[in-house]
Structure 1
Amino acid sequence: MKKTNWLLLVLALVFSMFLAACSGGGDSETGSDGGTDSGSEGEEAAGDSEQVLNLSDSAEIPTMDSSLATDAVAFQWLGSTKDGLYRLGENGEPEPGIAKSHEVSEDGLIWTFTLREDATWSNGDPVTANDFVFAWQRAVNPDTGSEYGPYMLGGVVKNASSIAAGDTPVEELGVKAVDDYTLEVTLEKPVPYFESMTTFGTFLPMNKKFVEEQGENYAMEADTMMANGPFKMTEWSHGEGWTLEKNEDYWDAENVKLNQINVSVVKETASDVNLYQTGEIDRVNLSAEFVDQYRSSEEYRVQEEPTLFYLKMNQENEILSNVNARKAIQMVIDRQSMVDVILNNGSIPAGGDIPKNFVKHPESGEDFREINGSLVETDVEKAQELWGKAKEELGIETAELGYLGGDTEVAQNLDAYIKDQLEQLEGLTVNVESVPFQIRIERDKNMDYELQNAGWGPDYIDPNTFLNMWVTDGGNNHTGYANEEYDALIEKANTELAMDPVPRFETFLEAEKMLIQEDAVLAPLYQRARARLWKPYVKNVFIQPMGPDFTYKYAYIEGK
C-alpha cells in the first residue's frame, strides 16, 4: 500500500496513514477498551460531540490523481474522498461501494458489476460505468505516465499490458459500460482476488468531463478535484496540511458521522507529541525515545502491520551488481538490535519478502513466513568473508556507496544506525543523503540511487502483491534485477496454477527463496509495527491490511 507505489520509504515510520495496511486485519482503534460500535449505536453515541477529527502526517500528499498516485499518503486520502466498485470495511473485508453486486462467469474471466443509481459526484453528476471505463483506460494509457496503472492492471485486465506498451489502442482494454449502471470487465486470466483489487486506489472512477476541463491542474488543488466518497477535500495548503469535510451528496451520507478531518504536516516527533498533549491532534505515532515514556498510558496502542522495509540495491551499480556484495550487506545488519533499540515500537526483524501473519497455506493453514522461516541471518564474520570475496572479484580494496534516506527525525536516526552497521564491512564508506518523501519517490522511479531504505505494503491479500514486484522490467522493480527463472515462477503461479491454490502457494515459497536467499535482491530489515497514542474519544476507525491505512467513513467522536 501500500506501500506502499506503496513505496513506503522509511519516512512512513511516522505517517498517520495506508498504505495499506495491517496484520490482525481490520482491528478497530477506537476507545481505550479497543471496542467497536455498530453504525446505529455509533449514531446515538456520537450525541452532541463536535464531529471533528484532528490528525497529523509527516509528509505532503504528492498527488490526488488516482492514475498517478504511488504512495501511502495519496492512497489514504483518495480512499477517504472516493468510492470505487468496492471499499474496505470492518475487518478488512470488501463492502459495496459504487457496485451493489457482481457476477463472475464460470471460467472466471468476465466480471459483471451492477452499479447503484444513487451515487453522484460532488458537482451533482451521476457516477456511471463510463467513469470507471475512462479512469482505467487513462491509467494504462502510455500518454498518462502512470506507474500503478500498468502495474495493477497489467496481466489482470485484458490487453492492459499491450496498451501500456503502446502496441494496442486504449479502447481495447477489457472494460466496457454495458449501460450507465452495468460495468463488464474481462480479465486476461482468472484472478481469484480481483474483488479485493477493486478496492485499491488505481481502480477508482473519474469524471471524464471534469478531468479534461482541468487538464494539467487536475487533482493538484482542492478545487481541481471531485469526490464521490464519504468526504471531500475543501482546503489543501501544500506543505502545511489539508481539510476534508463530510460529503453531503455521498450516497451513504447518513452513515458518515464526522463533519470534518483536519490534517497538519508535522515532521518532528517531539512537535507531534506536544500537539497531542495539548489536544490539538487526536493521534500521534511515537518514535523510540517516546515509547518508554508513554508505554503505561491507557491511550498507548501497538499495531503490527504486513508492511515490510528493506534495503533496495541498485544492480546497475558495479559493486551492487555483485551477488556476494549484496549477501554481505544482508548479513552484516543486526536487525534485532535495530527493532529493539532504534525503533522500540513493536516492529520485528524481517525474514524475507512476505510478512508474518499475512497469508496462510491453503491446505495446512500454516503461515507463509513460518514455512519459509528467516531467509537472512546476522553473521558479521561471514559477511566480511563474502565482502572480501566480492572485492576480490571486483578488483577493489575500498568501496563507496550512496544511501538514499528520509528527512524526518525517525528516518535519520534509523539511517544513521544502518550506515554504522554497513561500514563494519572493511573498506566500505556509506554516504547518507536525506531527502523529502516526494523526491525519493521520483528518484526511485528513475533508479537514481545506489542503496535505498524502502518499503512495501500490500495492494491486495495475496503473496503476489509482494513477489510480482521483482519480475524483469516490472513497473515497481527499480533495482535492475532480471532473472528468467524467477519470472517463470511468478508467471506459472499466476497462469497455469491460478486456480490451483496449493501448488500456487508453494511456487511462491520457492520464488521467495530465490529472490532473497539465492539472488539477494533485497536486504530485509523489519516488519513494521507502530506505537501510537489515541485519544479515547475517537471511535470506530478501522485499520486496514492494504490500500488506505485507515477507514474513517464510520468514525465518530464521543464525549470529547
Structure 2
Amino acid sequence: MNKYIRTSLAGLMTSTMITSAAFAAGTHPDTGEALADDQTFIYRLLDEHSSVDPQVVEDTYGAEIARDLFEGLMNQDEEGNLIPGVATGFTTNDTKDVYTFTLRDEAKWSNGEPVTAGDFVYAWKRAVDPALSSPYAWFMELMSIENASEIIAGDKPIDDLGVKAIDDKTLEVTLTAPLPYFAQMTTHSTTFPAPQKVIEEFGDAWTKPENIVSNGAYIWTEHLPQERSVRERNEMYWDNENTILDKVVALVINDENVALTRYLAGELDRTEVPAGQFPRLKQEHPDEAISFPRLCNYYYTFNVSDSGPEEFKDPKVRQALSLAVDRDIITQKVKAGGEPPAYTFVPEATAGFTVPAVEMASMDQAERDELAKELLAEAGYGPDNPLSFEMVYNTDEAHKKVAVALSQMWKQKLGVQVELANMEWKVFLEERGNQNFDLARGAWCGDYNEASTFLDLLQSDSGYNDGKYNNARVDELLAEAKTSDDPAPLYTEVERIIAQETPVIPIYHYAGVYMMDSDVGNWPVNNVEQNWYSRNLYKLAE
C-alpha cells in the first residue's frame, strides 16, 4: 500500500511541473484535450441537502458537496480504488487492529492553518458524542473503533475513543477487532476533519458560507436554501495546481421534467433522466444519455416496530406483497434506464459479493402471484377482509410512478387497498426515522464497497433500521462477518433470512441514468460508489 502511494505521489509531482504550461495553452495536462475558457460545472439536485457538516450530513447530495469542501484521510480514484487524501499512506500492526496514518505536510485549511491529526481526533470524537446526536454515529461503530459503541450509548466519555494524535502529522486508530476494509471507510464524510475553533465560535452556524473553514479542493461561497449553492476553488488546497474546474453550482429543481427541459436548453451540465425516458433520449442524444451500474438499492421497508401496523407483524403478509411486485415492469417500463430487478438487498455490483439463489428469483411472475394470494389468504385477508395500509415516499415524479405501479399491482392481484402519501425530503427522513409510517420508500448507496454496508441496515440497532426489524441470528451473522476471512457464506445466509422474513421489499438496484453534457470530462462511470470529486472533472472546449 505505502509503495503504491509513494509511486502515486511521484506521478502527481511530475504532473504538477507541467501543469502551468499546459493550462496556459488551454489544454488538459494529461490528455491534451482543449479546455473551455469557463470552467464551471452546473448540475441538478432533487432536494435541498441535509447539511454540509461532515459529522451531520446524512444524504447523498450533502455528501457530494462535503467531498468537495472537505478531504479525509483517503480518497477514491475514477475506478473506485483507494488513493491518498490528507494522508499519504498508512501502516498496520501485526494483528491489524491498530492503523497509523501519516498526514501530508502541505495540507491546509482554507484559512491557511495546517491540517493536523488533532483535527481528525476532534472530528471523530464529535461524531460519537451523544451531545451532537450525529445521524451517522452508528457508522463509527461499524468502523470498530475502540469504545465507540460505549461512548455513543453514554457509558464512557468521548476521550476514551480509540483515536489519538501521536504528533501533528501522525494519527493512530485502535480497533476492537481487525477490520479488512477499515481504510476504505475513511473515504466517508463522517470521518472528515473538522475545524474545532470555528465550530466553537459559530456553533450550528459554522457551515454558513461567511463562517465556514474547510480543507477540500473547494470553498463554500453561496447558499440559497431550496434554490442553489456554489462552491469555488480553494487556493489553499494542497493540490490546487492540478484542479481544473473553478466553480461548481448545484441547483435544486424538484421536478425532473423541468430539470430535463433546462438541461436541453443548455442551463445544466448534468441531470437525472426522468423515469421511462432513457430509451428515447438515448436515441435522440446518444453522446449525452448514459447509464451505468451503481452501488445502490431501491426498496420499501415495513414498519415492524411496536408502533407499526398489526398486519405487518405477520411475515406472510410481507412476503405476499413482495411476491406480487412485478419487478420487470418496474425496471423495463416504469424506469427503463438499465436498472436490474432486485430479489436480494445487496446489489450484484458489490465487490466480492455473489448474488445468492433465493426462491423468489427462480419463479416466474405467475408463480409468484399465485403464492402471494395463498399467503395473504392464510394470513386472513381477502375480499371480505381486504388488507389496507399507507405507503409514503419523498416527493419526486419517479418515486411517485413506482409507488403508483406497486399500489396498482397489489390492488389488481390481491385486492389490497393502498393510500399513497408524499413528503418533502427532510420531513420524510424525520417521519421515517421516527417510525411514523406503515410502508416507506427506502434507498441506500454504499458507504464503502462491501456487502455489509447494505446488510448492516437490517442489524437490530442500526441507526438506519427505520422499520426496526430485529432478528438475533442476523445480528449474530453480521457480527461474525466483520472478523471473518470469508464472509460470503454469512452474507448468503443473511440474504436468505431476509428473503424468508421480508422486512423489506427490494425493488431494483440502481443505475446512474444521466443526461451528461459531452463537454464534461472524466466523469467516473466506472466507480460504482459514484464518489465523484469536482477537482477531477473538467470542461472541454466546444
Change (3 A) 1:507 1:48: closer
Corresponding residue for residue 90 of structure 2: 102
CA offsets 1:179-213 (integer angstroms, 9 cap, x no match): 11110000111011111000011100001111111
CA offsets 1:54-87 (integer angstroms, 9 cap, x no match): 1111111111111111111111111111110011
CA offsets 1:2-61 (integer angstroms, 9 cap, x no match): xxxxxxxxxxxxxxxxxxxxxxxxxxxxxxxxxxxx97325x535452111111111111
Matched, 1:552 2:496: no
Which of residues 299, 310, 329 in structure 2 aligns to 1:310? 299
Corresponding residue for residue 528 of structure 1: 510
For structure 1, the residue ranges without an aligned partner over 5 or more in a row are 1-37, 361-366
Corresponding residue for residue 20 of structure 1: none
Matched, 1:507 2:495: no
- Letter matched to residue 510 of structure 1: E
Looking at structure 2, the residues matched to 217 and 229 of structure 1 have their Cα atoms a distance apart, in angstroms, of 19
Change (3 A) 1:444 1:171: same
Which of residues 199, 202, 224 in structure 2 aligns to 1:237? 224
Corresponding residue for residue 321 of structure 1: 313
Q: What is the total number of aligned residue pairs between the two structures? A: 508
- Letter matched to residue 98 of structure 1: V
What is the RMSD of the two structures over their aligned residues, measured on CA atoms? 2.1
Out of 476-485 and 221-230, give the one that drifted further.
Answer: 221-230
- Equivalent position SS for 1:229: coil
Change (3 A) 1:76 1:190: same
Which of residues 382, 385, 390 in structure 1 aligns to 2:374? 385
Query: How many Å apart are 1:376 and its aligned residue?
Result: 8.0
Query: How many Å apart are 1:381 and its aligned residue?
Result: 1.7
- Equivalent position SS for 1:355: coil
Looking at structure 1, the residues matched to 194 and 211 of structure 2 have their Cα atoms a distance apart, in angstroms, of 12
Change (3 A) 1:93 1:371: farther
Matched, 1:301 2:287: no
Looking at structure 2, the residues matched to 544 and 459 of structure 1 have their Cα atoms a distance apart, in angstroms, of 16
- Letter matched to residue 527 of structure 1: H
Looking at structure 2, the residues matched to 155 and 554 of structure 1 have their Cα atoms a distance apart, in angstroms, of 28
Q: Which has the higher contact order (CA 8 A, sep 6+)?
A: 1
Q: Percent identity?
A: 28
Change (3 A) 1:429 1:373: closer
Corresponding residue for residue 330 of structure 2: 338
CA offsets 1:352-379 (integer angstroms, 9 cap, x no match): 011113233xxxxxx5116668658542
- Check whether the contact 2:282–2:289 (CA below 8 A) recurs between aligned residues: yes
Change (3 A) 1:314 1:556: same
- Check whether the contact 2:260–2:274 (CA below 8 A) recurs between aligned residues: no
Corresponding residue for residue 368 of structure 1: 354
Out of 377-386 and 132-141, give the one that drifted further.
Answer: 377-386
CA offsets 1:69-122 (integer angstroms, 9 cap, x no match): 111111111111111001111211121111011110010011011101111111
Looking at structure 1, the residues matched to 297 and 150 of structure 2 have their Cα atoms a distance apart, in angstroms, of 31
Looking at structure 2, the residues matched to 376 and 545 of structure 1 have their Cα atoms a distance apart, in angstroms, of 30
Looking at structure 2, the residues matched to 161 and 374 of structure 1 have their Cα atoms a distance apart, in angstroms, of 37
- Equivalent position SS for 2:403: helix
Query: How many Å apart are 1:423 and its aligned residue?
Result: 2.2
- Check whether the contact 1:352–1:374 (CA below 8 A) recurs between aligned residues: no
Matched, 1:127 2:115: yes
- Check whether the contact 2:141–2:148 (CA below 8 A) recurs between aligned residues: yes
- Letter matched to residue 538 of structure 1: V
Corresponding residue for residue 148 of structure 1: 136
Looking at structure 2, the residues matched to 554 and 431 of structure 1 have their Cα atoms a distance apart, in angstroms, of 45
- Check whether the contact 2:294–2:530 (CA below 8 A) recurs between aligned residues: no
Query: How many Å apart are 1:484 and its aligned residue?
Result: 1.0
Change (3 A) 1:269 1:521: same
Query: How many Å apart are 1:546 and its aligned residue?
Result: 6.5
CA offsets 1:426-460 (integer angstroms, 9 cap, x no match): 45221111111222111121111110111111111
Corresponding residue for residue 349 of structure 1: 341
Out of 334-343 and 281-290, give the one that drifted further.
Answer: 281-290
Corresponding residue for residue 70 of structure 2: 82
Query: How many Å apart are 1:425 and its aligned residue?
Result: 5.4
Corresponding residue for residue 30 of structure 1: none
Change (3 A) 1:47 1:478: closer
- Equivalent position SS for 1:111: strand
- Letter matched to residue 302 of structure 2: M
Corresponding residue for residue 261 of structure 1: 248
Query: How many Å apart are 1:389 and its aligned residue?
Result: 1.4
Instruction: List aligned pairs for 1:37-52, cutoff 5 A.
Output: 40-42=29-31, 44-47=32-35, 49-52=37-40
CA offsets 1:319-363 (integer angstroms, 9 cap, x no match): 111100000111111100111111011111102011113233xxx
Query: How many Å apart are 1:399 and its aligned residue?
Result: 3.0
- Letter matched to residue 314 of structure 1: N
- Check whether the contact 2:294–2:528 (CA below 8 A) recurs between aligned residues: no
Corresponding residue for residue 292 of structure 1: 279
- Check whether the contact 1:287–1:344 (CA below 8 A) recurs between aligned residues: no
- Equivalent position SS for 1:91: coil
Out of 252-261 and 221-230, give the one that drifted further.
Answer: 221-230
Which of residues 201, 208, 212 in structure 1 aligns to 2:200? 212
Query: How many Å apart are 1:461 and its aligned residue?
Result: 1.5
- Letter matched to residue 145 of structure 1: S
Query: How many Å apart are 1:154 and its aligned residue?
Result: 4.3
- Check whether the contact 1:129–1:183 (CA below 8 A) recurs between aligned residues: yes
Instruction: List aligned pairs for 1:15-94, cutoff 5 A.
Output: 40-42=29-31, 44-47=32-35, 49-94=37-82
CA offsets 1:462-496 (integer angstroms, 9 cap, x no match): 1111112211122211212111111111111123x
Query: How many Å apart are 1:140 and its aligned residue?
Result: 0.5
- Check whether the contact 1:75–1:548 (CA below 8 A) recurs between aligned residues: no
- Letter matched to residue 479 of structure 1: G
Change (3 A) 1:245 1:373: farther
- Check whether the contact 1:470–1:481 (CA below 8 A) recurs between aligned residues: yes
- Letter matched to residue 121 of structure 2: V
- Letter matched to residue 496 of structure 2: K
- Check whether the contact 2:230–2:248 (CA below 8 A) recurs between aligned residues: yes
For structure 2, the residue ranges without an aligned partner over 5 or more in a row are 1-26
Corresponding residue for residue 271 of structure 1: 258
CA offsets 1:402-431 (integer angstroms, 9 cap, x no match): 111121222212211111122235452211
Looking at structure 1, the residues matched to 439 and 394 of structure 2 have their Cα atoms a distance apart, in angstroms, of 12
Query: How many Å apart are 1:291 and its aligned residue?
Result: 2.1
